[in-house]
Amino acid sequence: MKIYETRIAPNPRRVRIFLAEKGLEIPFEEIDIMKLDCKTEEFTAKNPMQRVPVLELDDGTTISESVAVCRYFEETNPEPPLFGTNPVERAQVEMWNRRSDFNLLFPIASAFRHTHPAMAELEVPQVAEWGEANQSKIDAALALYDDELKSREFIAGDCYSIADITAICAIDFMRVLGRKLEDQTNLIRWREAMKARPSYTA
């Protein structure tokens, strides 16, 4: 079993943090997405979406999409649970993880991919106006998350979950936009708690 990943990229980081929280060590193979390693015929056979991360099992089965890779490890290694423990928790974790994906990580990645010259070959077509338009979506999501975190410790409720992992990978990735948390005091408190976990540096 191994995972194809790119160390600097936010989606593979989600899987690395997830594995660290589970106490699992899986071999990684570095793919240089900037050198278009994701676009080769060999890699496309593993993931037709040409993206990392990709988990390859010993029988050759491949699983891509960060959340699907994490789901595999949740099912094979249930402790500690990171997708919730009862129907309500599982639904809330799914709800917040999807929000973290669509309302945080996606706009942050889009703002970067559609405006940075280095991403021109990866993001086709690159539409600078769309990149700029995502800045206000990021502002709105940060305000919403800050408000939600007024009344609870973690993104999806009282327990740490994959929704926290997606959110911290997204928020940390704002660095490529030259952005950081400023007046979102609840999010800043939550981010400090994320940084204190050993998995943060995975």
Ligand X SMILES: N[C@@H](CCC(=O)N[C@@H](CS)C(=O)NCC(=O)O)C(=O)O
Task: Note the residues at the interface with ligand X (CB under 6 A).
Answer: 6, 9-11, 33, 38, 50-53, 65-66, 122
Torsion of CA 19, 26, 68, 57, to 10 degrees: -160
Closer to ligand X by Cβ: residue 35 or 152: 35
Closer to ligand X by Cβ: residue 53 or 107: 53
Closer to ligand X by Cβ: residue 166 or 184: 166
CA–CA dist 115, 130 (Å, integer): 8
3-state secondary structure 89-145: HHHHHHHHHHHHHHHHHHHHHHHHHCCCHHHCCCCCCCCHHHHHHHHHHHHHHHHHH
CB 185, min distance to ligand X, A:
29
CB 189, min distance to ligand X, A:
27
CB 178, min distance to ligand X, A:
18
CB 58, min distance to ligand X, A:
21
Closer to ligand X by Cβ: residue 105 or 156: 105
Buried-state track 74-95, b at ≥16 Cβ within 10 A, e below 16: beeeeeebbbbeeeebeebbbe
